[in-house]
């Protein structure tokens, strides 16, 4: 199978590198200096494994279509990335392993065949050409919004062979929403207070606030016809336990002065609330506070540090 990784940053390079190591024909599409370094020295994956992997990498979109495109940009770059690659996306299988709600709908809008996904693997780009695999998690993929087919099974089998534990689901939209609802509580509260995930569980005020955020997200999802495989509240407690020593990814983006994915997490929950005439006061407030923190990062907030 020929696979392109569109948005080869931390998680995309991890997936692409492991697939290449397993003998899959992979092309990483990303940015310099990461791509340049991979061309010169190969891709280094550190942490869970320590390997130097030879894999093709480029900064431009090839003309030839692959069998599968794995979309791994941040959610705010999805539209641009898909538009820049629309000639190869059209009628091609595209699997999103991104966070947030709406990525797969954008794939469908440009004519791609969408596979949805969530992953609990953790990766960071240490420096150009070097990715650290920090946490071995699982990946769930499925035909978007629902259903299954042989190709999805084939992709899951390939991922498993590459060392990425992967399961398929007939209800991937339920998983995508459940993860977004969990992120809408942990990432926002953790970012505003600049705390590790575990503290949300250990502090009674934060815990009850976070649980109300989860309940609000669930009400909106259910009214929009989303069904869950695992209740988001259960996933929330599991995630807090498994990631208690982590600073969440939104907070890390803020610390690095980068844009966050808040519009595609809390912002989408608020938007979907409007479709079914449900207010989302908690998600609206958390969205506004994170947006404020994003805006302040380059002046008051950073200067005060
Ligand atoms: N890292 C992790 O452990 C996990 C991440 N995720 C999700 O996966 C997604 C990606 O996260 P992560 O890997 O951390 O993010 P990164 O920012 O490390 O990687 C995304 C990369 O895509 C590049 N990119 C954006 N647009 C294009 C384009 N048009 N062509 C080529 N490259 C492009 C970005 O470059 P530039 O910055 O210049 O735009 C960046 O290098 C997010 O939705 C995240 O929430 C999910 C689970 C775990
Ligand atoms: C699971 C969790 C909350 C881990 O920190 C995460 O998805 C994130 O940080 O974005």
ipTM, interface predicted TM-score of the complex: 0.98
- The residues spanned by each domain of the chain are 2-170, 173-304
- 178 and 232 in contact (C-beta within 8 Å)? yes
- 134 and 124 in contact (C-beta within 8 Å)? yes
Residue 149: both structure tokens together: 């087919």
Residue 265 CA to residue 287 CA, distance in Å, equals: 9
Nearest to 264 by CA among 10, 8, 74, 11: 74
The pair phi, psi for residue 277, each rounded to 5°, is 55, 40
- 189 and 214 in contact (C-beta within 8 Å)? no
- The bridge status of strand 122-127 relative to strand 68-71 is unpaired
Nearest CA to ligand 2 atom 9: 248
Cis peptide before 33 (omega within 30 of 0): yes
Mutate to test the pocket of ligand 1, among 17, 33, 70, 74 (most ligand atoms within 8 A of CB): 74
- Residue 262: CB within 6 Å of ligand 1? no
What is residue 297's predicted lDDT score, i.e. its pLDDT? Answer: 74
> pLDDT averaged over the chain?
96
- Residue 99: CB within 6 Å of ligand 1? yes
Residue 265: both structure tokens together: 């997490």
Distance 78 CA to ligand 1 centre (A): 9
Fold equal for 2-170 and 173-304:
no
Nearest CA to ligand 1 atom 40: 9
> Tell me: the pLDDT tens digits for 229-282?
999 999 999 999 999 999 999 999 999 999 999 999 999 999 999 999 999 999
**What distance lies between CA 193 and its chain's CA centroid?**
22
What is the share, in percent, of the chain residues with pLDDT greater than 70?
Answer: 97
- Catalytic (active-site) positions: 179
Distance 202 CA to ligand 1 centre (A): 31
Nearest CA to ligand 1 atom 36: 31
> Tell me: the pLDDT tens digits for 10-40?
999 999 999 999 999 999 999 999 999 999 9
Looking at domain 2-170, its CATH class is alpha beta
Nearest to 101 by CA among 278, 285, 262: 262
Nearest CA to ligand 1 atom 48: 122
- Residue 3: CB within 6 Å of ligand 1? no
- Where does the pLDDT of residue 219 fall: very low under 50, low under 70, confident under 90, or very high at 90 and above? very high
Q: Which residues lie with the beta carbon below 6 Å from any ligand 2 atom?
A: 183, 186-187, 197, 239, 243, 246, 248-249
- Where does the pLDDT of residue 304 fall: very low under 50, low under 70, confident under 90, or very high at 90 and above? low
Question: Looking at the predicted structure, is the pLDDT value of residue 84 above 60?
Answer: yes
What is residue 230's predicted lDDT score, i.e. its pLDDT? Answer: 95
- Where does the pLDDT of residue 224 fall: very low under 50, low under 70, confident under 90, or very high at 90 and above? very high
Ligand nearest the Cα atom of residue 100: 1
> Tell me: the pLDDT tens digits for 136-173?
999 999 999 999 999 999 999 999 999 999 999 999 99
Instruction: Provide the CATH topology of domain 173-304.
Output: 1.10.1040
Ligand nearest the Cα atom of residue 246: 2
């Amino acid at each position: 199978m020929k696979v392109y990784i569109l948005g080869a940053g931390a998680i995309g390079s991890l997936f692409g590198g492991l697939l290449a190591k397993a003998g899959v024909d992979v092309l990483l599409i990303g940015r310099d200096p990461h791509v340049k370094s991979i061309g010169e020295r190969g891709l280094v994956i550190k942490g869970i494994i320590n390997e130097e992997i030879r894999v093709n990498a480029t900064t431009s979109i090839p003309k030839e279509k692959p069998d599968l495109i794995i979309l791994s940009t941040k959610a705010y770059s999805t539209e641009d990335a898909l538009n820049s690659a629309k000639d190869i996306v059209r009628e091609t299988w595209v699997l999103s392993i991104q966070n947030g709600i709406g990525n797969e709908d954008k794939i469908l809008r440009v004519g791609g065949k969408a596979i949805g996904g969530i992953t609990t693997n953790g990766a960071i780009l240490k420096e150009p050409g070097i990715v650290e695999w920090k946490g071995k998690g699982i990946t769930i993929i499925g035909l978007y919004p629902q259903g299954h087919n042989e190709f999805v099974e084939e992709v899951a089998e390939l991922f498993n062979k590459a060392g990425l534990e992967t399961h398929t689901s007939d209800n991937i939209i339920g998983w995508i929403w459940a993860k977004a609802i969990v992120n809408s509580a942990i990432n926002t509260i953790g970012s505003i207070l600049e705390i590790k995930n575990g503290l949300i569980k250990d502090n009674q005020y934060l815990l009850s606030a976070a649980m109300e955020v989860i309940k609000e997200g669930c009400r909106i999802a259910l009214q929009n016809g989303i069904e869950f495989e695992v209740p988001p509240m259960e996933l929330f407690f599991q995630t807090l336990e498994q990631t208690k020593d982590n600073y969440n990814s939104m907070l890390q983006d803020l610390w690095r002065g980068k844009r966050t994915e808040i519009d595609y997490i809390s912002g989408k929950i608020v938007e979907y609330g409007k479709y079914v005439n449900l207010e989302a006061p908690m998600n609206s407030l958390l969205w506004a506070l994170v947006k404020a923190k994003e805006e302040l990062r380059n002046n008051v907030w950073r200067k005060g540090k």
